[in-house]
């Protein structure tokens, strides 16, 4: 029912190289998915159970010496719903199996190191799904748009990132990267809501209005990321974020797909099963 609402695997339908360029992408579209909001919300519940099962298997294997793990990078303009992905997709999993890190403006200490320093420290341990709410890509987004470092420095970061992610993958991390694409109109609506609702004031940052003024520059900076760092071993997916139900379902499906391809099985007992069954029966 719900899974069949996908007319193409999200891994193919949402790949940045397929659906881009970002400037022409319709953030209210649902590429590869023919269902509506109701069926999408139902599907998230059903598929969430599948995700949870796979995540537990990954965690169990991590406890049994398997070094593999997953890293989900979540990027997107302000209000695109990055926190919602963490809460509503991460929330489908056992919190024990997650390693969630949000990256804000670098601290003076972080700035005194290489831009990947704080990223290395936050990488997920074996058996866990790491979720990055913003990431090393900020170092070629606001940093590029505002020239926070000279172009000669930020322009080298694409190659450095590619090499970093290649090493991560070679060491057993499945890397997937999602860019949540919100429209300018929808962003205005969400910013307005934040000011209309006292429970959302905390989410409002006056600086977001200034960043909004650089919309086209950000689109260009995002496109440069897709052009230079969308690799088969660490792919970028472009996910329309005007419909939150869709972005959450799509990320859930992409994670399921990544975990399924790890071909996990439940760890075998490290003890004599029959002997232990007899002991439990007799105790």
Closest to Mg ion by CB, 183 vs 231, is: 183
Residues 6+ apart with CB under 8 A from 40: 2, 5, 30, 33, 243, 245, 246, 249
103 binds ligand AMP (CB under 6 A): yes
- For 234, the token pair is 């660490």
The single residue among 31, 59, 138, 194 that binds ligand AMP, judged by CB under 6 A, is 138
d(C-alpha 86, C-alpha 100), whole Å: 8
- Would you say 99 and 131 are in contact if contact means Cβ atoms under 8 Å apart? yes
| Among ligand AMP, Mg ion, none, partner that 158 touches (CB below 5 to 8 angstroms by kind) | none
Instruction: Report 191-250 residues binding ligand AMP (CB under 6 A).
Output: 205
Contact region with ligand AMP (CB under 6 A), list: 58-66, 98-106, 235-243, 250-258: 98-106
158 binds ligand AMP (CB under 6 A): no
Q: How far is the CB of 148 from ligand AMP (least distance, A)?
A: 6
| Among ligand AMP, Mg ion, none, partner that 139 touches (CB below 5 to 8 angstroms by kind) | ligand AMP
Place of tokens 């606001």: 142
134 binds ligand AMP (CB under 6 A): yes
The gap from C-alpha 137 to its chain's centroid, in whole angstroms, comes to 12
Of 184, 182, 180, nearest in space to 214 by CA = 184
| Among ligand AMP, Mg ion, none, partner that 267 touches (CB below 5 to 8 angstroms by kind) | none
Of 90, 236, 245, 77, nearest in space to 165 by CA = 236
Residues 6+ apart with CB under 8 A from 112: none
Of 209, 71, 65, nearest in space to 130 by CA = 71
Interface residues toward Mg ion, by CB under 5 A:
78, 205
The gap from C-alpha 95 to its chain's centroid, in whole angstroms, comes to 16
d(C-alpha 216, C-alpha 212), whole Å: 9
The single residue among 40, 48, 139, 161 that binds ligand AMP, judged by CB under 6 A, is 139
Closest to ligand AMP by CB, 147 vs 205, is: 205
Closest to ligand AMP by CB, 139 vs 186, is: 139
Closest to ligand AMP by CB, 105 vs 113, is: 105
66 binds ligand AMP (CB under 6 A): no
* Interface positions with ligand AMP (CB under 6 A): 103-106, 134, 138-139, 142-143, 148, 205
């Amino acid at each position: 029912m719900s899974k069949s609402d996908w007319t193409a695997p999200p891994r193919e339908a949402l790949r940045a190289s397929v659906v881009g360029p970002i400037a022409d992408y319709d953030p209210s579209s649902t590429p590869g998915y023919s269902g509506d909001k109701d069926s999408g919300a139902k599907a998230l519940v059903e598929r969430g159970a599948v995700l949870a099962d796979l995540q537990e298997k990954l965690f169990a294997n991590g406890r049994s010496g398997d070094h593999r793990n997953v890293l989900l990078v979540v990027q997107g303009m302000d209000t695109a719903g990055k926190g919602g992905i963490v809460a509503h997709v991460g929330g489908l999993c056992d919190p024990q199996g997650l390693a969630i890190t949000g990256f804000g403006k670098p601290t003076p200490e972080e700035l005194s190191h290489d831009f990947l320093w704080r990223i290395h420290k936050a990488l997920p341990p074996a058996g866990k799904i790491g979720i990055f709410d913003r990431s090393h890509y900020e170092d070629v987004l606001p940093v590029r748009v505002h020239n926070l470092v000279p172009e000669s420095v930020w322009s080298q970061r694409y190659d450095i990132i590619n090499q970093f992610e290649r090493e991560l993958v070679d060491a057993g991390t499945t890397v997937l990267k999602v860019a949540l694409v919100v429209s300018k109109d929808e962003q205005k609506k969400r910013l307005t809501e934040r000011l209309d609702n006292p429970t959302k004031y905390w989410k409002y940052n006056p600086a977001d209005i200034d960043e909004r003024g650089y919309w086209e520059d950000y689109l260009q900076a995002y496109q440069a990321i897709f052009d230079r760092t969308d690799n088969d071993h660490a792919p970028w997916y472009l996910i329309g974020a005007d419909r939150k139900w869709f972005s959450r379902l799509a990320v859930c499906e992409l994670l399921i797909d990544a975990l399924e391809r790890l071909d996990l099985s439940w760890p075998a007992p490290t003890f004599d099963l029959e002997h232990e069954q007899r002991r439990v029966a007799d105790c």
